[in-house]
Amino acid sequence: MAIKFGTSGWRGIISDDFTFDGVRRAAQAISDYAKRKESALLKNGLLVGYDTRFLSEKYAYACAEVISSNGIKAVLTKRDTPTPVISYEVIKRKFAAGINITASHNPPNYNGIKLSPSWGGPALPETTKLIEDLANNPKLKVKTGDAGNIKKADFCEDYLKAIRNKVNMKLIKKAGMRVGLDCLYGTGRGYLDTLLRECCREVAVFHDYRDAMFGGSSPEPAPEKLGELRNAVRGRKLGIGLSTDGDADRFGIMDRDGTFMTPNEVLSMLLLYLKKSRGWNGCVVRSVATTHLIDRIAAKHGIPVRETPVGFKYIGEIMVKEPMIIGGEESGGLTVLGHIPEKDGILACMLMLEMVSSEKKSLKEILKGIYREVGYVTTGRDNIRLTESAKARLIKRLKSDPPEAFGAFEVTGINAADGFKFLLKGGSWLMIRLSGTEPLVRCYTEADSAAKLKALRKAGAKFIGAV
């Protein structure tokens, strides 16, 4: 089976696409890449971590063994570890690269590899293309058998110290917040719950233990996955609900009445809060599928906006080149100035907690204040499963004969930088894109009223289904 990196690493179904043989070939290819491209840092070795999925620690050890057999020091985490921790330590300790065995928010029958090169962000296409070529070369010789150069380390306290320095813990503690947290059986346990207990009056924690099947669902901090958290927030009158995904790089935020706040809303609120509370200068970076509410806020406060293709690697790439107040995606990832060029769900949750503690308002009240300043915006995302032949027909139609309208919404322009984003008369937009991590077609929509959004989502689904 060929190794293929998508939007956020290589992922596949365990024992079908994702096998020990594939993991070892990938580890050999990454070792060869490090020797070629990171020779100056090779003495520091490669960092290997893993999540809570089935066999993840075994896959991680197999990686470390191959790295060690190539004469490179392999530093293996002592426990399952969030992706942002891997990124942070790669930068701080100058590892040649970091590997995390994880399929992030995918269903439990998936596993994968996320690669963080020496700059700490997700590997860019030129890097993953080289690794794919090396790993899929039939002449590749995988070295195994030498485990003498494997060291184990725990980076939990090191990372927590960094987060404490980026969040106003005293402000949160003074507010006496009562919060709910759903770890979704993932790597965030022992990290986010530890921070919360240090600064909150009460913390109600759910699913803070390992379950390789994630309770029979996907470890995705989406509203339909957070029923227990919602009930606790409402029933116990908690101030906020927080959640992270399987490898703790994505966030889920719930208002005190149980309303789930979309990542688009979270990014917009934090952009304004960080600008006002920190006084930071720099740009804001968003993916092409992320809300233009960010653009409205940025225009009002003189903040440059940078738009990237979907994939946090592109946001991280800009972050290392110029000052960035905040960067994020509608899929639930963000980072901020002075932090890692990788999404961090733990930091996102702590910043939202700080914002609520400071503003002394509900999240919906904070958001309404933004709408009063810059106008109302609402967004949607529909995941549509299509057969491979239907997907091929859809892409062919979009390229050769794109629609001039979606229902009553006239198309005024097309952005084809990543997928097909249709700019519509009146400021609405609709985007169609194949998922880079799942067998789905995603239809993103944005409008200035709930009625318009409903009509636009219906028109988009009708177009996709009719092709």
The neighbour count for residue 286, using CB atoms within 10 Å, is 28
How many residues can be counted in the chain? 467
Confidence check: pLDDT of 146 > 80: yes
Share of the chain above pLDDT 70, in %: 99
In the chain, how many domains are there?
3
* Comparison of pLDDT for 434 and 143, the residue scoring more: 143
Asked whether residue 90 is domain-assigned, the answer is yes
Mean predicted confidence (pLDDT) in 272-289 = 97
pLDDT digits (tens, 9 = 90+) for 75-103: 999 999 999 999 999 999 999 999 999 99
| Residues 317 and 384 occupy one common structural domain | no
Q: pTM (2 decimals)?
A: 0.96
Residue 147: band (very low, low, confident or very high) from pLDDT cuts 50, 70, 90: confident
At 220, which CATH number?
Answer: 3.40.120.10
Asked whether residue 236 is domain-assigned, the answer is yes
Asked whether residue 169 is domain-assigned, the answer is no
pLDDT value for 67: 98
- Pick the range with the lowest mean pLDDT from 173-187, 307-321, 351-365, 387-401: 387-401
Strand residue runs (E) in 172-323: 178-182, 202-206, 240-244, 251-254, 260-261, 283-287, 305-308
Residue in the block written with tokens 């908690």: 238
Confidence check: pLDDT of 438 > 70: no
Confidence check: pLDDT of 107 > 90: yes
3-state secondary structure of 114: strand
Confidence check: pLDDT of 467 > 70: no
| Residues 119 and 12 occupy one common structural domain | yes
178 contact partners, CB below 8 Å, separation of at least 6 = 200, 201, 202, 203, 204, 236, 237, 238, 239
Confidence check: pLDDT of 437 > 80: no
Confidence check: pLDDT of 16 > 80: yes
Q: In what order do the strands lie in the sheet with 110-117?
A: 5-6, 9-13, 110-117, 97-101, 46-50, 74-77, 150-153
The neighbour count for residue 309, using CB atoms within 10 Å, is 17
Interatomic CA distance for residues 333 and 287, integer angstroms: 11
Q: How far is CA 382 from the centre of its chain?
A: 18
Q: How far is CA 55 from the centre of its chain?
A: 22
- For residue 273, which amino acid is it? Y
Pairing outcome for strands 333-336 and 324-329: antiparallel
Residue in the block written with tokens 């994968």: 112
Residue 223: band (very low, low, confident or very high) from pLDDT cuts 50, 70, 90: very high
Asked whether residue 165 is domain-assigned, the answer is no
- For residue 299, which amino acid is it? A
| Residues 182 and 310 occupy one common structural domain | yes
| Residues 178 and 304 occupy one common structural domain | yes
| Residues 274 and 353 occupy one common structural domain | yes
Mean predicted confidence (pLDDT) in 215-244 = 97
pLDDT value for 242: 98
Asked whether residue 185 is domain-assigned, the answer is yes
Asked whether residue 161 is domain-assigned, the answer is no
CB 379 within 8 A of CB 367: no
Confidence check: pLDDT of 419 > 80: yes
| Residues 17 and 147 occupy one common structural domain | yes
Confidence check: pLDDT of 395 > 70: yes
Q: What φ, ψ does residue 169 adopt, rounded to 5°?
A: -65, -35
Find, among 138, 113, 117, the residue nearest to 19 by Cα: 113
Residue in the block written with tokens 């080149």: 321
Across the chain, what does the average pLDDT equal? 96
Mean predicted confidence (pLDDT) in 178-198 = 98
| Residues 365 and 385 occupy one common structural domain | no
Interatomic CA distance for residues 345 and 247, integer angstroms: 9
Which residue range(s) make up the domain with 343? 174-374
| Residues 252 and 286 occupy one common structural domain | yes
User: Which whole-number Å values give the CA distances from 353 to 168, 266, 337, 361, 462, in the listed order?
Assistant: 10, 11, 18, 11, 40
